[in-house]
Amino acid sequence: MFSDRFDQLVQALRILPSVGPKSAQRMALHMIMKNREGAIGLAHALTEATNYIHE
Domain boundaries, the chain: 4-52
E strands, 1-55, in order: none
For residue 54, what pLDDT is reported? 79
pLDDT single digits (tens) 12-45 = 999 999 999 999 999 999 999 999 999 999 999 9
Question: What is the DSSP-derived secondary structure letter of residue 17?
Answer: T
Angle of helix 21-33 versus helix 36-52 axis, rounded to 10? 110
Q: What is the pLDDT of residue 55?
A: 67
Whole-structure pTM value: 0.79
Query: CATH assignment of 4-52?
Result: 1.10.8.420
